[in-house]
Chains A and B, each alone.
Chain A
């Protein structure tokens, strides 16, 4: 257990360093004014500059004992915290929906695989998992707009102020990971069908449902391994969906800070994301150890 945590933590540190190294590649503009009518802008790119920038950054972190103050005068970490908290309201439910409901749905799909409804469900989940989340989001909004034009009561589709603002992004973000988990669980269960213990379970007179529980318990290991992928998918799509929704969260701010070359802010927003990934890996590995019998690991 301790071994896994230490290993994951060292990987995490390496990845944070790697990300900082990419982030601080020189990308600043240097404007030289020759005269009133002659201005030249240049983007110098040299190794010395790169070193100086990294040195500058470490100095800044050491002297400020943190990220220091943002242009608004408030501490960067405080601002980042506000945005991240807003995004967590989407990320955590999306993750939970995908992992718990997705697994449950996969088990249901497997249970009914021979029946028509099961086949239909299989086809639909396969079909819908090809739909990109940004299209789903725009399509839902377009639909609402058209419906509002035809008499649906008006409500705000954009922004982050209303209590229901997080629902639309949440739905479009969780659809793909949810379907992925459902398909993955169903496939993992199908892999277990030929195992001997299933035959034993049936020979002891246990019904389909009890046998399914046996099989599900043996699938925890591959299912838990998907947690990282699900979280990565949610975090990858978060910036775009937040920006489309006008939801002022960490993802939207991250996009903005990267395109406006504000490295400190980008780092302060990216670090929580990396940390979420780290926690997800630790938790899923712990859950795996706890759920799976030793012999099958």
Chain B
């Protein structure tokens, strides 16, 4: 029994490593806040007296007391990252699910060449293969109707999901095109299945494994994009507040990881550990998603090969 388990693990080493890292990430996200060394209150510190009884104001560099250092209001960075994980992961997952929920129907319509959808998709992909996604997202996210709306976070989620949606749709469309030449599809058509039924029962089940792999890969890509947007000063959960001079200002209220990069361009010349550790957390998440995606891929392809 033990031998069989070992050989199974050896055979799917990548998959096991990916699962382990993913479980670790999820454990940090959901159970992490209850660890003893995590400061759930995120207490702020005004100053600390040093040996010469001189007050030193935060941020403090990484030390034994604060492993990751503190931010500018003296909050422990490690606790901040662990507490912010839930929001970050949730955002990334939401965007990815939304993206594929939109991409799958669109790709099927494009495959069926319904009302010129395929041309539209081709044009969108052309546009996106020229213009960097981050520029498009920035341009759309700064539009007043989205900026001033009460549902701004939702709109931003939608914009980010839409920005890379055509690429995903194009990839799924290729799969549809491939499947459509298979014999059993003709069987379905001859049997009188409606287009919707064909889609649900004849096409989709063969795509589940590929969709899953691509969605997990996209989790990493979305995290990367959120990081880039964080550097560009665009966040999902921001409040828009009018200041005394009549100007509008973006105000933070969240503790997600990209948010810690808001002052990255100043921090990088001083307390560089603030952007470093938030970027490190993102890198860990991206690495986990990529390893898990590759593990899943090899898991599925092996399964198919041995049938």
Q: Which residues of A contact B (CB under 8 A)?
A: 11-12, 14-15, 18-19, 22-23, 25-27, 29, 31, 39-41, 43-45, 126-127, 130-132, 134-135, 138-139, 141-142, 145, 158, 228-229, 232, 235-237, 239-240, 243-244, 246, 254-255, 258-259, 261, 270, 274, 277-278
Interface assignment of B126: CB less than 8 Å from any CB of chain A = yes
Whether the Cβ atoms of B246 and A39 lie closer than 8 Å is yes
Cβ of A159 to closest chain B Cβ, rounded Å: 11
A135 touches B231 (CB 8 A): no
Cβ–Cβ < 8 Å partners of B142 in chain A: 27, 258-259, 261
Would you call B246 and A23 a contact (CB within 8 A)?
A: no
| Closest CB in chain A relative to B275 CB, distance in Å | 6
Q: Which of the residues B140, B286, B290 comes within 8 Å of A22, measured between beta carbons?
A: B140
Can you list, as one digit per residue, whether each of B123-144 has a CB less than 8 Å from chain A (1) or not (0)?
1001101111111101110111
* Assembly CA distance A131 to B220 (angstroms): 10
Q: What's the Cα separation between A25 and B148 when bound, in Å?
A: 15
A39 smallest CB distance to B (angstroms) = 4
User: Contact between B272 and A141 (Cβ–Cβ < 8 Å)?
Assistant: yes
Name the 10 nearest CB pairs between A and B, nearest first. A43-B144, A236-B132, A135-B279, A39-B246, A130-B290, A130-B287, A135-B283, A41-B246, A15-B130, A240-B231
Q: How far is the CA of A281 from the CA of B268 in the complex (A)?
A: 36
B224 surroundings in chain A (CB, below 8 A) = 132
Residue contact B140 to A142, C-beta cutoff 8 Å: no
How far is it, in angstroms, between the C-alpha of A13 and the C-alpha of B144 when the chains are bound? Answer: 28
Q: Max chain B CB contacts within 10 Å: which of A15, A29, A132, A237?
A: A132
Closest to A258 in B: B138
Number of B residues near A (Cβ < 8 Å) is 48
CB distance from B24 to the nearest CB of A (A): 16
Question: How far does the Cβ of B167 sit from chain A's closest Cβ, in whole Å?
Answer: 11
Mark B residues whose CB is within 8 Å of A.
Answer: 123, 126-127, 129-136, 138-140, 142-145, 147-148, 220, 224, 227-228, 231-233, 242, 246-248, 264-265, 268-269, 272-273, 275-276, 279-280, 282-283, 286-287, 290-291, 294
In Å, the complex CA distance between A24 and B130 comes to: 18
A138 touches B275 (CB 8 A): yes
* Docked-complex contact B148 and A43, CB < 8 angstroms: yes
Bound CA–CA A12/B148 (angstroms): 33
**Which A residue sits closest to B273, measured CB to CB?**
A142
- Residues of A near B247 (CB, < 8 A) are 41
B248 near A132: Cβ-Cβ < 8 Å? no
The answer for the CA separation of A274 and B276 in the assembled complex, in Å, is 32
Q: How many A-B residue pairs have CB under 8 A?
A: 129
A58 to chain B, nearest CB (A): 19
- CB pair B232–A255 under 8 Å, yes or no, is yes
Can you show 9 pairs from A to B with CB atoms below 8 A apart? Answer: A26-B144, A41-B246, A132-B227, A132-B283, A134-B227, A240-B231, A243-B231, A259-B142, A274-B131
Complex alpha-carbon distance, A10 and B197, angstroms: 39
**Chain B residues with Cβ under 8 A from A229's Cβ?**
129
Are B287 and A131 neighbours in the complex by a CB distance under 8 Å?
Answer: yes
> Given that A25-B143, A255-B232, A259-B232 are known contacts, is A139 also in contact with B135, CB under 8 Å in the complex?
no
Residue in B220, B247, B283 whose Cβ sees the most chain A Cβ within 10 Å: B283
Chain A residues with Cβ under 8 A from B272's Cβ?
138, 141-142, 145
Contact yes or no, A235 B132, CB < 8 A: yes
Residue of B nearest to A233 (CB): B132
Partner of A18, one of B127, B228, B232: B127
Contacts of B269 in A (CB 8 A): 158
Known pairs A43-B144, A142-B272; A236 contacts B133 (CB<8 A) = yes
Residue in A31, A127, A135, A240 whose Cβ sees the most chain B Cβ within 10 Å: A135
Q: A15-B126, A43-B147, A138-B276 are in contact. Are A258 and B139 (CB under 8 A)?
A: yes
Contacting residues, chain A, for B291 (C-beta < 8 A): 130
A40 in complex: contacting residue of B227, B246, B268, B283, CB < 8 Å:
B246
Q: Is the CB of B233 within 8 A of A259?
A: yes
- Contact yes or no, B228 A240, CB < 8 A: yes
Which A residues are CB-close (under 8 A) to B264? 138, 244
In angstroms, Cα B127 to Cα A101, docked, is 29
- Are B279 and A277 interface neighbours, CB within 8 A? no
Please tell me which one of the listed residues A27, A39, A127, A270 contacts residue B135 in the complex, with CB atoms under 8 A apart.
Answer: A270
> Please, how many angstroms separate the alpha-carbon atoms of A126 and B294 in the complex?
10
Chain A residues with Cβ under 8 A from B123's Cβ?
A: 14, 18
CA distance A131 to B224 in the complex (A): 9
C-alpha gap A287/B112 in the complex (Å): 35
Chain A contacts of B131 at CB under 8 A? 15, 19, 270, 274
